[in-house]
Amino acid sequence: MLDTLAKRLLQSIPVLIGVLVLGFLLVQLSPGDPARVFAGAMAPPEVVEQIREKMGLDRSLWTQFWGYVERVMHGDLGRSFISNKTVTSELLAAIVPTMELMIACLIWSIPLGIGMGTLAAVWRGSLVDRAVMAFSVAGVSLPIFFICLLLIQWFGVKWQLFPFIGRGGPLWTVEGLRHIALPALSLGLIFIGPVARMTRSSVLEVLRLDHVRTARSKGLNESQVILRHGLRNALIPVVTLVGLQAGYLLGGAVVTETVFSYPGIGRLSVGAILSADYPLAQGCILVLALAFIIINMIVDILYAILDPRVQKR
Amino acid sequence: MTALLTVSDLQVGFQDRGRIMRAVDGVSLSVDRGRTLGVVGESGCGKSVTSLAIMGLVPQPPGVIQGGEITFDGKNLLALPPKEMRALRGGRIGMIFQEPMTSLNPVYTCGEQINETLRAHGMSAPDKARARAIELLDLVGLPSPAKRIDDYPHQLSGGQRQRVMIAIALANDPDLLIADEPTTALDVTIQAQILQLMKDLQNRTGMAILLVTHDLGVVAETCDDVVVMYAGLVVERASTASLYSDPQHPYTIGLMAAVPRITAKAERLDTIDGTLPPPWVQIPGCRFAPRCPLATDKCRAEQPPMREITPGHQVACWFAPIDERITTP
Ligand SMILES: Nc1ncnc2c1ncn2[C@@H]1O[C@H](COP(=O)(O)OP(=O)(O)OP(=O)(O)O)[C@@H](O)[C@H]1O
Ligand SMILES: [Mg+2]
């Protein structure tokens, strides 16, 4: 298992290099002029020139890239053009809220999705099955911003159950929970559908296998057969597929955070891109890529835990 | 005296796009304690479906038990409440399946899979269950059982997995062991070992064995009585000795001719000309008629009933008792 992880780490190095290159090129290729943005629209050309020189933007592309990589290696991601705080501190402040959002979303949507998918598989063709499938199709096809708006309209405005702007504090406080409820609900709603569908098809497939018949021949009752021999084995592909959906989830987080003015990485990225705050945008892209790599590693670990055939090879 | 297991006139069908095909169409057989009954017939004739029906494991749907009776130790299994049926499964009736490579769950160790059946039948203390599991693995001849018990199925060979499967089936000292082609997927030497093992265990515990096989060579070595099935029907029933010395049904005779020399690896019994009719084809007369060298118009029109030719030897053929000379050209 350590082998797998080490291999994964090595494999992620090219990905990280790619992200660095992309983040760097982003600044070079974008239509605006970073020095002009930094100086402000009203600054006289001499000042802009000065700033360009100070930022090293007049040097060759290669020198600039190398300098950038060197700084990133030292943990220096530069300063935000807008707030003038270091990018690292901006990112650190946004990571915790986003992680809280992910946890608050996954903690209910994954178990519920798996439960719904299992029930749908066991009662295949029944009303329950059709309801679950309809629900997941709806969850997949409704755009997430629309779900956010619906939730805001009902839970926020009409019934005034939950606040829908900003973050109320850490997750373990009452206000924190109240504020995260709607973002976590909308993000979870789009995630439940795919999880339920994957679980359903996976459980259906596993329940047809020979070893399930063996389990029955041992005199186990139906719930033991379905949970211990059906669902347990079905989780192996589900975990993989959930990992593949990580990008989907991160993308959803960008929208959710923006709609709910939730101060996480997603909203930070959108803000940075819209205001041409290049150092911050580069930092955000780096963090999102890292998140992707980490999620995939967690998936690998889970996979090895769930499937003994992986470990021993 | 009533036998431990009696199946009478069992009919099992499978729904398929609106119509029902009969996979098993009136099978009767019985086994007694300490005896081994062989069930032979070519692929698709309904052997596995019959065994699964006894275990109450025919997948429903698409399967439907359409008629007949299965009596085990005086109880009608087809009418048994699910809970009592579960208590029998893996308890007094154990089953070994045809596919050793896929019959075990890949995510649990052998020990866990044996423990499960022990626990389902009342042995709850973990250390006692583990000791029993090691004892069982030793019994079925798995080398260094105390170590292998924590192996996952993928770490074992096909023959070793089948031994673990036998250990599971035997875990709760069953009165009846149903072995559905326990050795077909294994190579010849392992085959002989596994069969010997089953016989030894039978001598020790006095259990009854229902042995399903393609292989008449296996029957000759292990069974006391034989039932020959063709297209969902029993066509001949006899003691092994009587069947071999005096086969009556042209199908059985064909099977015998198809048996290669005992030493060679047994082949599949498909050396009779033609193939099994598909289950949805309605044949008014004898089902074997289309392939039978002796078939007459009567055979094609009317289904022959089971008749007793000599004591204990029954056959469903209009020609029986048959003269050996007619059939061997
Ligand atoms: N789950 C099922 N659904 C539909 N048809 C089935 C099912 N199981 C068995 N059958 C049909 O029942 C018939 C008898 O099958 P069975 O498995 O009993 O044959 P068998 O004698 O065990 O053959 P083999 O020697 O190949 O194991 C076949 O025609 C098969 O297609
Ligand atoms: Mg079979």
Give contacts of B86 with chain A, Cβ < 8 Å: 219-221
pLDDT digits (tens, 9 = 90+) for A156-181: 888 888 888 888 888 888 888 888 88
Residue A191: which pLDDT band, with cuts at 50, 70 and 90? Answer: confident
According to the model, what pLDDT value does residue A1 have? 67
As for the ipTM of the complex, it is 0.84
Rounded to an integer, the average pLDDT of B193-214 is 88
Rounded to an integer, the average pLDDT of B65-92 is 89
What pTM does this model have? 0.83
According to the model, what pLDDT value does residue B271 have? 54
Rounded (10°) angle between helices A278-306 and A2-29: 160
Q: Is the confidence at residue A212, as pLDDT, over 90? A: yes
User: How many whole angstroms from its chain centre is CA B200?
Assistant: 18
According to the model, what pLDDT value does residue B266 have? 39
Is any Cβ of chain B less than 8 angstroms from the Cβ of A214? yes
Query: How many Å apart are CA B158 and CA B174, to the nearest integer?
Result: 23
Q: Which two tokens stand for residue B84?
A: 């009592």
**What is the percent of chain B where pLDDT is above 70?**
89
Q: Is the confidence at residue B280, as pLDDT, over 70? A: no
Other C-beta atoms lying within 10 Å of the C-beta of residue B1: 3
Query: How many Å apart are CA A106 and CA A263, to the nearest integer?
Result: 19
The answer to whether the CB of B184 is under 6 A from ligand 1 is no
Residue A14: which pLDDT band, with cuts at 50, 70 and 90? Answer: confident
Query: How many Å apart are CA B39 and CA B213, to the nearest integer?
Result: 6
Q: Compute, in angstroms, the gap from residue A230 CA to the centroid of ligand 1.
A: 23
According to the model, what pLDDT value does residue B321 have? 77
Q: Is the confidence at residue B270, as pLDDT, over 50? A: no
Q: Is the confidence at residue A105, as pLDDT, over 50? A: yes
User: Residues with Cβ < 8 Å from B30, sequence gap 6 or more?
Assistant: B3, B5, B6, B7, B37
Contact A214 B121 (CB under 8 A): no
Query: Among B10, B11, B12, B14, which residue has the most ligand 1 atoms within 8 Å of its CB, making it the best to mutate?
Result: B14
Residue B265: which pLDDT band, with cuts at 50, 70 and 90? Answer: very low
Mean predicted lDDT score pLDDT of chain A: 86
According to the model, what pLDDT value does residue A71 have? 86
Is any Cβ of chain A less than 8 angstroms from the Cβ of B118? no
According to the model, what pLDDT value does residue B260 have? 47
Instruction: Tell me which residue of A120, A117, A267, A125 sits closest to A183, measured CA to CA.
Output: A267
Nearest to B117 among A218, A228, A236 (CB): A218
According to the model, what pLDDT value does residue B262 have? 38
Residue A302 near residue A7, CB atoms below 8 Å: no
According to the model, what pLDDT value does residue B328 have? 47
Q: Is the confidence at residue A33, as pLDDT, over 60? A: yes
Residue B251: which pLDDT band, with cuts at 50, 70 and 90? Answer: confident
Q: What radius of gyration do chain A's Cα atoms show?
A: 24
Query: How many Å apart are CA B165 and CA B109, to the nearest integer?
Result: 12
According to the model, what pLDDT value does residue A57 have? 75
Mean predicted lDDT score pLDDT of chain B: 84
Rounded to an integer, the average pLDDT of A62-72 is 85
Is any Cβ of chain B less than 8 angstroms from the Cβ of A224? yes
**What is the percent of chain B where pLDDT is above 90?**
26
Give contacts of B182 with chain A, Cβ < 8 Å: none
Counting ligands in written order, the one closest to the CA of B179 is 2
Nearest to A217 among B87, B90, B109 (CB): B90
According to the model, what pLDDT value does residue A201 have? 93
The answer to whether the CB of B213 is under 6 A from ligand 1 is no
Q: For an interface test with B, which of A204, A213, A217 has the most B Cβ atoms less than 10 Å from its Cβ?
A: A217
Q: Which two tokens stand for residue A159?
A: 């019934």
Q: Which two tokens stand for residue B83?
A: 């809970």
Is any Cβ of chain B less than 8 angstroms from the Cβ of A220? yes
Other C-beta atoms lying within 10 Å of the C-beta of residue A53: 12
Residue B305: which pLDDT band, with cuts at 50, 70 and 90? Answer: confident
Q: Compute, in angstroms, the gap from residue B14 CA to the centroid of ligand 1.
A: 9
Name the residue in chain A with its Cα closest to that of B58.
Answer: A213
Strands, E assignment, chain B: 5-16, 19-31, 36-40, 63-72, 75-76, 93-96, 176-180, 208-213, 225-230, 233-239, 307-310, 313-315
According to the model, what pLDDT value does residue B272 have? 63
The answer to whether the CB of B14 is under 6 A from ligand 1 is yes
A33 against B98, higher pLDDT: B98
Residue whose structure tokens are 């930022």: A55
Q: Is the confidence at residue B230, as pLDDT, over 60? A: yes
User: Residues with Cβ < 8 Å from A84, sequence gap 6 or more?
Assistant: none
Q: Compute, in angstroms, the gap from residue B212 CA to the centroid of ligand 2.
A: 8
Q: Which two tokens stand for residue A55?
A: 């930022």
Give contacts of A309 with chain B, Cβ < 8 Å: 106, 152, 154
According to the model, what pLDDT value does residue B325 have? 46
Residue A288 near residue A307, CB atoms below 8 Å: no
Q: Compute, in angstroms, the gap from residue B41 CA to the centroid of ligand 2.
A: 10
> Which residue's CA lies nearest to atom 11 of ligand 1?
B23
According to the model, what pLDDT value does residue B300 have? 81
pLDDT digits (tens, 9 = 90+) for B22-36: 888 889 999 999 899
**Dihedral angle computed from the Cα positions of residues A145, A149, A152 and A157, in that order, rounded to the nearest 10 degrees:** 160
Residue B190 near residue B183, CB atoms below 8 Å: yes
Closest CA of chain A from B4, distance in Å = 19
Whether omega for the bond prior to residue B62 falls within 30 degrees of 0, making it cis, is yes
Residue B274: which pLDDT band, with cuts at 50, 70 and 90? Answer: low
Contact A214 B165 (CB under 8 A): yes
Least confident of B16-20, B39-43, B224-228: B16-20
Closest CA of chain B from A287, distance in Å = 35
Q: Is the confidence at residue A62, as pLDDT, over 80? A: yes
Sign of CA dihedral A37, A39, A43, A49: negative
Residue B123: which pLDDT band, with cuts at 50, 70 and 90? Answer: confident
Query: How many Å apart are CA B317 and CA B327, to the nearest integer?
Result: 14
pLDDT digits (tens, 9 = 90+) for A283-293: 998 888 888 88
pLDDT digits (tens, 9 = 90+) for A108-138: 999 999 999 999 999 988 899 999 999 888 8
Q: Which two tokens stand for residue B249?
A: 């049904």
Query: How many Å apart are CA A167 and CA A176, to the nearest integer?
Result: 6
Q: Is the confidence at residue A311, as pLDDT, over 70? A: no
Rounded to an integer, the average pLDDT of A59-83 is 84
A61 against B211, higher pLDDT: B211
Exposed e or buried b for every residue in A264-296, given b needs 16+ CB within 10 A?
bbbbbbbbbbeebbbbbbbbbbbbbbebbbebb
Q: Which two tokens stand for residue A133?
A: 């499938």
Residue B116: which pLDDT band, with cuts at 50, 70 and 90? Answer: very high
